[in-house]
């Protein structure tokens, strides 16, 4: 009756004879569960399972003979298990299956089984003992057994009162859980409202920002239209003014030439000197007017490159010839290095020549001694033409400004005394860009400058 060998000595043994004993078994079951350290809920579960079995045997089946109830604890299993067995001889025809189907105790205990032992049926329930109290040593089990056997069983009425109390406690617990649920629901609703408010606020802020961006965009667009209009007006002004100036200035030059002609009436020495001055100034003015006209044309988009296959060596050869006339000082050498053949480039020969001539002129203008050198090489998809000199150079902070119209580095006149207009570089950069490339410069004041023209091997006109 004490179950398998793993089960230790019986802690308590009881007999179930009539209905009042059901209460008693229930109460004692709870006491045993408490004594071995089970939680309150588990105590109630075991007590309920026992009263279910008791009621079924005594009331439903009306087992005439008595049923034996034993409680024991396994000794060598981990965790330890409380084994409760009820042994009874049922009426004929009652099988293990009858009991298994009638008593659904699976939720109350860990295992429930019914086995036959001769004429008797053994109902066996097990329930794990929680870790904190396990292991229960044999000595400890002896103490528990002695205590259980010493404690008096209470009356059915007391047990009923106890049951009522438990029921009330369970009800109270359910009510508390329901209240907690209501509170959680309210909290959730509150949080939802908060999230919704935040979402609305964020949406509004986003809308506001979007409206701002759209307005800013429109303003930018308007500004860029104004800027374009201003730039076009400037180009038109430059073109018109220079065009209008060219005729009278040319006339002044013609008139002074007439005055100075030996065939004309002789002039006094002073008059001749003044006439020479007028002619010099008029010539300067004419070159300024011409450069302004060129720049105006380039800016207004009136220049349409004439794309042809150009042999770079030819361009270099011509420049070597024409620019050499300027390089009259022995202290400065003009070096034009022909690129290795074939040096073909698809470009506008006239415009390219203007750019390079301009750079060579500048090099010679701003170099007191050393050399001005022009080279060309292919780098990837580009022709790279470099004009470098050993001249006065340009301070880093002004290296972009010299590409602005009329800008000339202040306080640094050309060492050769040559004058200029400040229009050459902006024009050269414009043309380089028209040809699909660009013009940039690097320089070290006192050591020299390098102007680099990038031109595409295959321009897309």
Task: Select 354 or 421, whichever has its Cβ closest to ligand ADP.
Answer: 421
Burial class (CB in 10 A: 0-12, 13-18, 19+), 405: middle
Q: For 306-444, where are the E strands, in sequence order?
A: 308-311, 332-336, 344-347, 370-379, 382-389, 438-444
Asked if residues 32 and 11 have their Cβ atoms less than 8 Å apart, the reply is yes
Give the 3-state secondary structure of residue 378.
strand
Reduced to 3 states, what is the DSSP secondary structure of residue 366?
A: coil
Closest separation between CB of residue 230 and ligand ADP, Å? 22
Closest CA to 11 of 64, 51, 71: 71
Q: How far is the CB of 299 from ligand ADP (least distance, A)?
A: 15
**70: nearest Cα among 142, 148, 116, 11:** 11
Q: Which is nearer to ligand ADP, 140 or 412 (CB)?
A: 412
Residue (340 or 418) nearer to ligand ADP, CB: 418
Using the minimum distance from each CB to ligand ADP, give the nearer residue, 29 or 424.
Answer: 424
With 0-12 / 13-18 / 19 or more C-beta atoms within 10 angstroms meaning exposed / middle / buried, residue 246 is: middle
Q: How far is the CB of 310 from ligand ADP (least distance, A)?
A: 24
Question: CB 371 → ligand ADP: shortest distance, Å?
Answer: 12
Q: How far is the CB of 374 from ligand ADP (least distance, A)?
A: 12
Closest by alpha carbon to 44, among 59, 32, 56, 60?
32
Nearer to ligand ADP, 128 or 386 (CB): 386
What gap in Å lies between CA 336 and CA 319, rounded to an integer?
8
Smallest distance from ligand ADP to CB 204, Å: 55
Taking 3-state DSSP, the helix, strand and coil percentages for the chain, each rounded to the nearest 5, stand at: 55, 20, 30
Minimum CB separation of residue 428 from ligand ADP in Å reads: 7
Give the number of other Cβ atoms within 10 Å of residue 204's Cβ: 10
Q: Which is nearer to ligand ADP, 56 or 427 (CB)?
A: 427
Write out the residues near ligand ADP by the rule CB under 6 A: 362-363, 366, 389, 391-394, 402, 407-409, 412, 420-425, 449
Nearer of residues 71 and 451 to ligand ADP, judged by Cβ: 451
Residue of minimal Cβ distance to ligand ADP: 420
């Amino acid at each position: 009756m004490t179950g398998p060998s793993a089960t230790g000595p019986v802690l308590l043994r009881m007999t179930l004879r009539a209905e009042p004993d059901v209460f008693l078994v229930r109460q004692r079951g709870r006491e045993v569960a408490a004594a071995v350290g089970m939680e309150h809920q588990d105590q109630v579960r075991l007590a309920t399972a026992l009263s279910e079995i008791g009621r079924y045997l005594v009331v439903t089946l009306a087992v005439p003979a008595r049923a034996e109830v034993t409680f024991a604890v396994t000794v060598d299993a981990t965790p330890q298990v409380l084994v409760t067995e009820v042994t009874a001889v049922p009426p004929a025809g009652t099988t293990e299956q009858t009991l298994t189907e009638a008593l659904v105790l699976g939720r109350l205990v860990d295992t429930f089984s019914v086995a036959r032992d001769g004429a008797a049926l053994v109902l066996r329930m097990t329930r794990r003992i929680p870790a904190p109290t396990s292991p229960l040593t044999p000595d400890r089990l002896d103490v528990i057994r002695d205590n259980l056997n010493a404690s008096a069983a209470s009356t059915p009425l007391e047990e009923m009162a106890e049951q009522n109390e438990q029921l009330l406690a369970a009800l109270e617990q359910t009510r508390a859980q329901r209240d907690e649920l209501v509170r959680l629901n309210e909290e959730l609703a509150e949080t939802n409202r908060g999230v919704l408010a935040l979402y609305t606020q964020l949406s509004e802020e986003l809308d506001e920002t979007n409206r701002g961006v759209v307005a800013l965009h429109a303003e930018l667009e308007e500004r860029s239209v104004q800027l374009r209009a201003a730039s076009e007006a400037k180009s038109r002004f430059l073109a018109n003014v220079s065009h209008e100036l060219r005729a009278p200035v040319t006339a002044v030059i013609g008139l002074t030439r007439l005055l100075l002609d030996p065939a004309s009436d002789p002039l006094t020495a002073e008059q001749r000197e003044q006439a020479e001055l007028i002619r010099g100034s008029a010539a300067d003015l004419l070159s300024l007017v011409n450069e302004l006209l060129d720049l105006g044309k380039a800016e207004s988009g009136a220049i349409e490159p004439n794309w042809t296959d150009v042999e770079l060596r030819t361009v270099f050869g011509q420049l070597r010839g024409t620019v050499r006339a300027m390089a009259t000082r022995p202290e400065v050498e003009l070096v034009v290095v022909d690129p290795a053949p074939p040096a073909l480039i698809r470009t506008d020969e006239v415009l390219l020549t203007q750019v390079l001539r301009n750079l060579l002129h500048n090099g010679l203008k701003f170099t007191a001694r050393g050399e001005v050198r022009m080279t060309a090489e292919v780098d990837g998809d580009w022709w790279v033409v470099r004009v470098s000199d050993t001249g006065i150079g340009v301070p880093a902070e002004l290296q972009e400004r010299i590409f602005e119209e009329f800008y000339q580095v202040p306080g640094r006149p050309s060492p050769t005394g040559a004058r200029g207009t400040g229009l050459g570089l902006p024009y050269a950069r414009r043309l380089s860009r028209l040809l699909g490339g660009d013009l940039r410069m690097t320089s070290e004041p006192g050591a020299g400058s390098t102007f680099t023209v990038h031109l595409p091997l295959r321009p897309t006109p």
